[in-house]
Amino acid sequence: MNGGFMLRTKEDVIMLIQNDDRMMEVIKAASKLNLPDWWICAGFVRSKIWDTLHGFENRTETPDVDVIYFDNKDTKEKMEKELEAELRRILPDIPWSVKNEARMHVINDIPPYTSAEDAISKFPETATALGVKVDKNNELILTAPCGLDDVLNLKLKPTPYFKDTKERAAIYEERIIKKNWESIWHKIKVHHI
C-alpha cells in the first residue's frame, strides 16, 4: 500500500493520476489544444508511479512535460513552438515540450512512426513508454504499449526497440548514466543490455 493506493493494474494507475489534481490540471490544459493523436508521456507518468511506490510525499520535479501528437499534415517545428507558447499561456509554470511524432523519425534517423502510440512504444525504457490523456468525455486514458509490469515493479529495462541494435542499446546505457534515476528512486532495479 502506497499513499492509499495498491499499484498493480492499469486501473490503479489511472485512479492514482485522477486523484492528483495538479496532474489532471496539466492533462486538461494539454487537451485544450485539440491535437490529433496526442498524449502526455514519459517522465510525467513514470515519476508519479515511482514517487508513489517510494512513498514520497512531494512530487519529483521533471525537467519537462512531454506532450506528443501525430499530425503528418503540418510537420514544421514552428508549429510545435507555437503550441508550447499556447500551453505556457494556459499554465506558465509548467516546462512544456511539444513534439509532433510525424516528424521525429527524421530527427531520430529511424523509419517513420505510424502514430503517437507507435512512437511511445519506441521510447528507450519500458518504464518511460507511457502516456496519458483525456478523451472528449474528459475520461482519463492510459497507454502502455510495453506494458506496466516493469514500471510497477520498479524495473528499468530497454524497450524491445532499444535492444534491437548496438547503437540503440548504447543510447539506452548512456541515458541510464545521464539521467541517474537511481539517485532519486533508490529502489529501482536497472537492467543493462
pLDDT, one tens digit per residue, over 4-44 is 457 999 999 999 999 999 999 999 999 999 999 999 999 99
CA dihedral for 11, 153, 146, 107, sign (positive or negative): positive
Within 13 Å, how many C-alpha atoms sit on residue 178's CB side? 6
pLDDT of residue 1: 41
C-alpha cell at 20: 492528483
Contact 128, 144 (CB under 8 A): no
Per-residue model confidence as pLDDT tens digits over 82-96: 999 999 999 999 999
The domain in which residue 127 lies consists of 10-152
Residue 190 within a domain: no
Residue whose cell numbers read 502510440? 117
Residue 47 within a domain: yes
Residue 5 within a domain: no
Q: Give the chain's domain count.
A: 1
Residue 46 within a domain: yes
Per-residue model confidence as pLDDT tens digits over 174-186: 999 999 999 999 9
CATH code of the domain covering residue 61: 3.30.460.10
Confidence at 2, pLDDT banded by 50, 70, 90:
very low
C-alpha cell at 140: 482519463
Residue 161 within a domain: no
Residue 186 within a domain: no
Confidence at 107, pLDDT banded by 50, 70, 90:
confident
Residue 136 within a domain: yes
Residue 131 within a domain: yes
